[in-house]
Amino acid sequence: MNEELGILELILGASLTVQLVMLILLLASVVSWYMIVQRLMLLRRTDDELVAFEEHFWSGIDLADLYREGNQAVADGSPHTGVESIFRAGFKEFSRLSQQTDIQADAILEGARRAMRVATLRESDRLEANLPFLASVGSTSPYVGLFGTVWGIMHSFRGLANATQATLATVAPGISEALIATAMGLFAAIPAVLAYNRFAARVDNLINRYDTFVDEFSGILQRQTYAQRARQQQG
């Protein structure tokens, strides 16, 4: 009677189903936290990269030089990510198409835009990876925890039916251990939901900025293309 009900004894004393539920929730919590931290690092890095690249881009540097700078990194074996990959995709397509003199200026622009759109989509896929997992942890783990609790309480009351003397002390440990499952479910769900909402908003924001960059870059390319074509027609 005097033995202390430590949380560890409660968990170890729970029935198999409840323990299984707790294990699942613990795994969900661990994995979702792993993803939260990783997404946080990724988004922060992407953000920094975007700011740094835009600064570099608008510093008046020649676009061909900017492209060539990036080649070095590719040769080192680290492919570009973020806004730089969009820039490189667009510029590559643009220079490849503009070398062919029989192509219309509009077609060149269209090609470059398409290449950049594809790169943007790929980027958004990369940024949004794992977010669905966070969403499902956030929405289902309270239910899983609740299931564990209901199951535990069911058992605890069934035990009460067999006992001759029904005291609070006979059911209290069972209910307490069952409630741990709900607590774990909520513990897994709350950060996951918060992180999902936050990350989804940040990814949206990043994609918007990418789109803006694509439009601005297209403007520059358009100017260059028409200037080039005008020179060709004169010459």
Q: Which is nearer to another protein, 39 or 113 (CB)?
A: 39
Closest CA to 221 of 85, 103, 93: 93
Q: Which is nearer to another protein, 8 or 16 (CB)?
A: 8
Dihedral angle of Cα 181, 183, 189, 195, to the nearest 10 degrees? -140
Q: Which is nearer to another protein, 7 or 61 (CB)?
A: 7
Nearest 5°: phi and psi at 99? -70, -25
Q: Which is nearer to another protein, 90 or 142 (CB)?
A: 142
Q: Which is nearer to another protein, 72 or 99 (CB)?
A: 72
Residue 148 CB, shortest distance to another protein, in Å, is: 17
Residue 139 CB, shortest distance to another protein, in Å, is: 21
Residue 171 CB, shortest distance to another protein, in Å, is: 15
Residue 112 CB, shortest distance to another protein, in Å, is: 31
Interior angle at CA 6, CA 192 and CA 138, nearest 5: 10
By the criterion CB under 8 A, which residues form the site for another protein? 1-2, 4-8, 26, 29-30, 33-38, 41, 76-78, 169, 187
CB atoms < 10 A from the CB of 79, how many?
A: 10
Direct distance between the N- and C-terminal alpha carbons of the chain, in angstroms, rounded to an integer: 101
Contact 226, 105 (CB under 8 A): yes
Cα distance between residue 235 and residue 204, in whole Å = 46
Closest CA to 177 of 3, 5, 4: 5
Q: Which is nearer to another protein, 45 or 158 (CB)?
A: 45
Residue 190 CB, shortest distance to another protein, in Å, is: 12
Residue 162 CB, shortest distance to another protein, in Å, is: 22
